[in-house]
Amino acid sequence: MASILRVNTLTDASSNNSIATSVLHNGSAKAWFNINQEGTIAFRDSYNFSSLSDDGVGVTSVVYTSNMNNANYAAGSMAKDETGGDFAIIRFSTNVLTTGFTFVGEDEQNNNIDCNTATASVDGDLA
């Protein structure tokens, strides 16, 4: 039989650190990843992402384990290119869906590149 635990605040054993459950629900990242786009792409670590695919130079699609409520979520990202460039960015492509998104790694001349490290954190409501 399933149980429901209803609380307003969580606290540690010494009652020194507490947080409202609404902060956990509304204020924490709903998904994040750290991947390598070079060679065989792979998650180094992730939360709430089930798979990724290499869609061409610098282009990667990721799929959520638990979908977002709508496609109006926010994602912050960072990238690093250790293959010669000292600047890299990742940006959303046109495919931002409740089930995942596609992003592109670029250098300072806006050329698609595979980034040594690409990271993103997603905020919004889960479905």
State pLDDT tens for residues 15-74: 888 877 776 667 789 999 999 998 899 999 999 999 999 999 999 999 999 999 999 999
In a domain, 14, yes or no: no
State the total domains in the chain. 1
Nearest C-alpha neighbor of 30 from the set 90, 71, 75, 77: 75
Domain coverage including residue 85 = 34-123
Chain centroid offset of residue 40 CA? 19
| pTM to 2 decimal places | 0.81
In a domain, 23, yes or no: no
pLDDT of residue 64: 97
* CA end-to-end distance (rounded Å), the chain: 24
Q: Which string of b and e fits 75-92 if b means at least 16 CB within 10 Å? A: bebebebeeebeebbbee
For residue 125, the surrounding DSSP H or E stretch is none
pLDDT at residue 122 is higher than 80: yes
pLDDT of residue 72: 93
pLDDT of residue 80: 84
Q: Using a pLDDT cut of 90, give the percent of the chain over it.
A: 50
Looking at the DSSP bridge assignments, the partners of residue 106 are: 89, 112
pLDDT of residue 23: 67
The answer to whether 118 and 90 are in contact (CB under 8 A) is yes
In a domain, 11, yes or no: no
Q: Give the sign of the dihedral formed by CA 31, CA 78, CA 70, CA 51.
A: negative
49: amino acid identity, one letter? F
